[in-house]
Amino acid sequence: MIDLDKWQEIFSSLSRHKLRTILTALSVWWGIFMLVILLGFGKGLQNSATRNFSNDAENVLYIWADQTSVPYKGLPAGRFIGYTSPDLEAIKGLEGTKRTSARFNMSGNYFIAYKNKSLAYRVQCVPPEHYYIENPILTSGRFLNQTDMDLRRKVVVMGEAVREELFKEDEDPLGEYLEIKGIKFQIVGVFTEGKKRETERVYLPLSTAQRIDGTEDVHTMIVDMGKANYEEAMVIEESVRQELSTRLKIAPNDRQAIGIHNDAENFKEISLVMTFLNIFIWFVGIGSIIAGVIGVSNIMLIIVKERTKEIGVRKALGATPNSIISMIVQESVFLTSIAGYLGLACGMGVIFAIQKVMEINEAELEFFHNPEVDIKLVLVALLILIISGAVAGLIPAIQAARINPVTAMKS
Amino acid sequence: MISLQNIRKSYHTDYNSLEVLKGIDLTINQGEFVSIMGSSGSGKSTLLNILGLLDEFDSGEYLLNDAAMDNLSQKQAAMYRNQLLGFVFQSFNLLNFKTAMENVALPLYYQKVDRKKRQALALDYLDRVGLKEWAHHLPTQLSGGQQQRVAIARSLITSPKVILADEPTGALDSKTSHDVMEIFKEVNREGITMIIVTHEEDIAKMTNRIIYLKDGLIEKEETGTISQT
């Protein structure tokens, strides 16, 4: 039911008290505007953090070989250890390891050559499972597969940066051959990644490279722990350590021989920072809402006080208490809704403008990415403001509607 | 029209209570033009407020238009005020942010009369008090006498049975006061009961019945100069 008359009353009353209308509107507008900006920036920080970590598998152990520091079973301290493919197989069988990968670096100096050009980019020799560790995006062809591994095929997957250096834009590199260490490898795929410098490399099948060097060695072993949480990741790390210690005759208390980098520790730190950031954003956000609520409540109180005489006159002329209360509450709700909506729109406008500017300038900030706002959250905040404005108006309105019109008119 | 029997009213504070009306018996017939006189503190304003349902009485009986006015809810009181009564105050009590016409039309808003219709009626009534030209002025742009005439138009617009005026000429000079009284007489000739509270003898003399109040009781009654119609 739309009571046009009532709205006309509300409009005329608001438009004839410009200062108090503007003050009320401003406090609501500011509260919502700040909240939107704050949430947007918070989200931007968060997005950048998750972006930096989401490309690679999150729960990964990197295992490298070092020197023993404790003599054990007749073997002296200071012995260099090294891993081989059977060690990798053994780790693959441990509980909690989702999949494993490894890196092998061929010995000697060699370049990646094509026709008359040659590059000194990295040559990484990995098993096909490595795909899940780095998550490269294949722009053409395929990644290494199990058949390449089993048959020790001479194939290569190259990064986008390598393709750019060696091939023209319209050339199809698939099927061409790169020469590494005097051996021709057929190109089967081209990949790209989030950061360009990570595509300055080529991948060879681990088994092929081992055959070329005549060895079973692997240099780095990588364990993907899937969705293991921090505690589980620590347990897996320990079981890997034990398994390798036994296999390589390393003292169980030797913390130096087996080097392990556990991503879970990193991830834990980042999540901690994010949690604090979130708490901070909520703290400030709720603060600004409370400030808005107090502002609206205060102004409503003053408005009702100021209008006591008017209320008395209206009552003398036949206004019922309910009509007085609903008049004040409707005015308040109307004002806070409009002001809140404008605050929301302005805040979103600023956020979008920032997004656009970043897009146009292709600004890639390490710590700030894709600011966005959870509309639902902001609407809830707006609703809180509107309700508090209504309640703030309601309480003094009820009191004002109750006082005897004679007393009200005298004030 | 109005019948009061043994109306009593006291005001209480935390420490003491003051009995303002100590048993008023009064009957006012339809079409009468009555003035209530008395020194300040005699209870004349309180009596008028009780008659106007703006204040409650403690005990006694009040019949307005044959209906008992005790234990009214705020809503009922508002309805009676709106339909049977019109008010004129010493300080005019116009809403400053509304034009003369909007002020006059306001009581009809609470009768849910259509906007166009109530504005047209408001113009009619402003015309009756000679202020049609001033319809779109704000009260602050009007003289005291003009403001009081706007207030009178506002009290008349609902065609009330009774008009209650509390010191209607208290803030006006004697020339304007007489103009206002002329309008009241004219209204009264149409059969509307007029009750005014005043402390000015010459104003009271212009009514047809003067009730003197002293210390919360009716002291005496006199007949004024105009004859009853």
The secondary structure of A267-317 as a DSSP string is HHHHHHHHHHHHHHHHHHHHHHHHHHHHHHHHHHHHHHHHTHHHHHHHHHT
Asked whether residue A109 carries a pLDDT value surpassing 70, the answer given is yes
pLDDT score recorded for residue B159: 92
Percent of chain A past pLDDT 90, that is, above it, reads 17
Q: Is the ipTM of this complex over 0.95?
A: no
Same domain, A240 and A179: yes
- In the three-class reduction of DSSP (H, G, I as helix; E, B as strand; rest coil), residue A403 is classed as coil
Same domain, A317 and A377: yes
Question: What tens digit of pLDDT does each residue of B158-170 get?
Answer: 999 999 999 999 8
Count of Cβ atoms closer than 10 Å to residue A176 Cβ: 17
The mean predicted confidence, pLDDT, of chain A is: 84
pLDDT score recorded for residue A98: 86
Reading the block at residue A65, the tokens are 């070989």
Check CB contact under 8 Å for B81 and A12: no
Check CB contact under 8 Å for B79 and A309: no
Asked whether residue A309 carries a pLDDT value surpassing 90, the answer given is no
Domain boundary among A222, A245, A263: A263
Q: Whole-angstrom Cα distance, residue A110 to residue A108?
A: 6
Same domain, A50 and A108: no
pLDDT score recorded for residue A367: 62
Percent of chain B past pLDDT 70, that is, above it, reads 98
Q: B 136-165 residues with CB below 8 A of A?
A: 154, 158
Same domain, A116 and A173: yes
Same domain, A337 and A322: yes
Q: Residue B17: CA atoms inside 13 Å, Cβ hemisphere, count? A: 9
Give the domain extent around A205.
Answer: 60-263
Report yes or no: A28 and A350 within 8 Å, Cβ to Cβ: no
Asked whether residue A57 carries a pLDDT value surpassing 60, the answer given is no
Tell me which of B11, B79, B82 to substitute to probe the interface with A (most A C-beta atoms closer than 10 Å): B82
Asked whether residue B229 carries a pLDDT value surpassing 70, the answer given is no
Cβ partners under 8 Å of residue A223, min gap 6? A60, A61, A63, A91, A97, A100, A236, A240
The mean predicted confidence, pLDDT, of chain B is: 90
Same domain, A244 and A274: no
Backbone φ and ψ of A49, nearest 5°:
-65, -45
Check CB contact under 8 Å for A316 and B52: yes
pLDDT score recorded for residue A19: 82
Q: H-helix or E-strand containing A381?
A: helix A375-402
Question: What tens digit of pLDDT does each residue of B71-98 get?
Answer: 888 889 999 999 999 999 988 999 988 8
Per-residue pLDDT band at B26 (split at 50, 70, 90)? very high
Same domain, A64 and A46: no
Number of domains in chain A: 2
Same domain, A14 and A118: no
Residue of B nearest to A322 (CA): B75
The CATH class of the B31-42+73-222 domain is alpha beta
- Which position has the higher pLDDT, A195 or A314? A314
Nearest to B78 among A315, A404, A409 (CB): A315
Residues of A at the B interface (Cβ-Cβ below 8 Å)?
4-5, 8-9, 12-13, 16-17, 309-310, 312-323, 401-402, 404-406, 409
Mean pLDDT of A381-397: 80
Same domain, A119 and A82: yes
pLDDT score recorded for residue B62: 94
Taking contacts as CB-CB distances below 8 angstroms, the residues of chain A near B111 are: 318
Asked whether residue A31 carries a pLDDT value surpassing 50, the answer given is yes
Q: Does B188 touch chain A (CB under 8 A)?
A: no
Mean pLDDT of A394-404: 82
Same domain, A275 and A293: yes
Mean pLDDT check: name the lowest of A355-359, B31-35, B43-47, B79-83: A355-359
Question: What tens digit of pLDDT does each residue of A188-224 get?
Answer: 999 988 777 888 899 999 999 999 999 999 999 999 8
Taking contacts as CB-CB distances below 8 angstroms, the residues of chain B near A320 are: 74-75, 78-79, 110
Mean pLDDT of B125-145: 93
> Domain coordinates of chain B in residue numbers?
31-42+73-222
Per-residue pLDDT band at A364 (split at 50, 70, 90)? low
Per-residue pLDDT band at A407 (split at 50, 70, 90)? confident
Reading the block at residue A205, the tokens are 């099948």
Give the CA angle between residues A298, A299, A305 to the nearest 5°. 95
Same domain, A147 and A206: yes
Question: What tens digit of pLDDT does each residue of B160-214 get?
Answer: 999 999 999 988 898 999 999 999 999 999 999 999 999 888 899 999 999 999 9
Check CB contact under 8 Å for B98 and A12: yes
Same domain, A211 and A156: yes
pLDDT score recorded for residue A186: 94
